[in-house]
Amino acid sequence: MNVSGIIAEFNPLHKGHEYLIKTAKEEGPVVVVISGNFVQRGDVAIAEKRIRTKMALQSGADLVLELPVLWSMSTAQNFALGGVSVLGYAGCDRLIFGSECGDIEKLQKTADILLSPEFSLQLEKLSHKKETFAKLRQEAAEICEVPKGILQNPNNNLAIEYILAARKNKIPFDFSTVKRVGAMHDSFCEAEFVSASLLREKLKQNDFDFCKKYMPKSSLELLNKSNIADIARIERAILALLRTRTIEELQKLPDLSEGVENKLFEALRVAEDLDMLYNEIKVKRYTLARVRRLVLSAFLGVDNQFFMKPPPYIRLLGFNKTGEQLLKTKLKNSPVPVVTTVAEIKRLNEDAQKVFAVETRATDLYSLSLPQVLPCGLEYTSKIIKTGEF
């Protein structure tokens, strides 16, 4: 049985995602690992992770696993490490993803070059420049004759990170890609597919009519005015909590360099809103997404203890009948614990307990970003989603 794995946010799940799942299912069962309630761009997810789990199952996924917040709200490298590790633990044979180029040979060739000693040497020579890592990597890649334009698109980049993470961690996936079409970012597009970022803005505006064309009907029906999250609702809570952080606490944040903790500490003394805070912190080597992740990491109490380390367990979010069989076969041989109940979490080792504690705190705080505030403790009370029960 050839099992395909997909790493996703489904933020929200749109027709492009549905197409990817359907393509993957042509080869056999599909396991999806989805981000928790805070996502890679440094923001709250548009809908709670269990709503997105239902979206995935209704669109054809057989088994849905969690990418914990320590990996879901992190660098592309750490996001990829978390995703491929979970799918590797789950016994997936193939990793399938979207990309702008749609050419798996080009993506794998690029990964080979980025793993080469020559590329490392060129990147080291450029490290003195005050540019973002992405720009430095692009320049070094051009010197090493990476296929032209391949690193200039976000989905190509993430696809390459998946390949790199799998190879570095000796996870023997076959790789497959589906060409991404339609709008890449926020611009309006008359194609069948639009970007998730545009859909998020429309959902926040309660423009569900616009989304009908671009989201599966089943996914849209799971959303309503009461469960659309918006970081604006917790803006002052973020600022308030961050004002209590000490320099020593800020120094432990993940993906930190250049003394930016000092800029963050000073910015927190004067920032009146999040945009002002981001602008006060920003330095040339930091992208806006990196700054947002830094701020939310401080808000959630995330440190660097688990940065660039694989997750210590698999957390089950939902499954159908085929997924239930995968639990009994593929996941039975997982090298890390497969968590299905809170009681199992309480029996895990200290590292796993720490990861889950952060996840619990993140969900409790995320709940404040919803129009209808939810109580604390959802990580303990929410049930696994089973097809046919919703």
pTM > 0.75: yes
Our count of domains for the chain comes to: 3
pLDDT band at 176 (very low <50, low <70, confident <90, very high): very high
Same domain, 86 and 204: yes
| CA–CA separation, 230 and 224 (whole Å) | 13
Among candidate residues 244, 266, 300, the one where a domain is terminated: 300
In a domain, 56, yes or no: yes
Structural domain of 259: 231-300
| CA–CA separation, 31 and 21 (whole Å) | 9
Report the candidate in 50, 59, 52 with the shortest Cα–Cα distance to residue 16: 59
More confident residue, 328 or 189: 328
Same domain, 257 and 330: no
Same domain, 94 and 52: yes
pLDDT given at position 185: 39
| CA–CA separation, 130 and 136 (whole Å) | 9
Q: Which pair of structure tokens corresponds to residue 225? A: 């005015």
* Cα→Cα distances 327→89, 90, 173, 295, Å: 12, 8, 19, 37
Mean per-residue pLDDT over the chain, rounded: 93
Q: Residue 154: in which H helix or E strand, if any?
A: helix 154-168
Which DSSP category does 32 fall into?
E
* Cα→Cα distances 250→71, 260, 284, 363, Å: 19, 9, 20, 21
Q: What is the residue whose two structure tokens read 């946010």?
A: 9
CATH number for the domain spanning 203: value is: 3.40.50.620
Determine the average pLDDT of the residues in 167-185: 83
pLDDT given at position 206: 95
In a domain, 105, yes or no: no
Same domain, 194 and 295: no
User: Would residue 205 be called left, alpha or beta, if left means φ above 0 and alpha means ψ between -120 and 50 degrees?
Assistant: alpha
Same domain, 196 and 262: no
Same domain, 120 and 185: no
pLDDT per position as a tens digit, 246-274: 999 999 999 998 789 999 999 999 999 99
Determine the average pLDDT of the residues in 289-308: 97
Cβ neighbours around 107 below 10 Å, total:
23
Same domain, 79 and 60: yes
In a domain, 106, yes or no: no
Residue pair 42/2 in contact (Cβ under 8 Å)? The answer is no
pLDDT band at 184 (very low <50, low <70, confident <90, very high): very low
Same domain, 287 and 145: no
Same domain, 17 and 89: yes
Q: Which pair of structure tokens corresponds to residue 300? A: 């959630």
Same domain, 59 and 197: yes
Same domain, 116 and 254: no
pLDDT per position as a tens digit, 122-167: 999 998 887 888 888 889 988 998 888 898 899 999 999 999 999 9
User: Would residue 42 be called left, alpha or beta, if left means φ above 0 and alpha means ψ between -120 and 50 degrees?
Assistant: left
Q: In whole angstroms, how large is the CA radius of gyration of the chain?
A: 20
Could you give the 3-state DSSP secondary structure of residue 327? helix
Sign of CA dihedral 260, 264, 266, 270: positive
pLDDT per position as a tens digit, 317-357: 999 999 999 999 999 999 999 999 888 988 999 999 999 99
In a domain, 382, yes or no: yes
Same domain, 219 and 246: no
In a domain, 305, yes or no: no
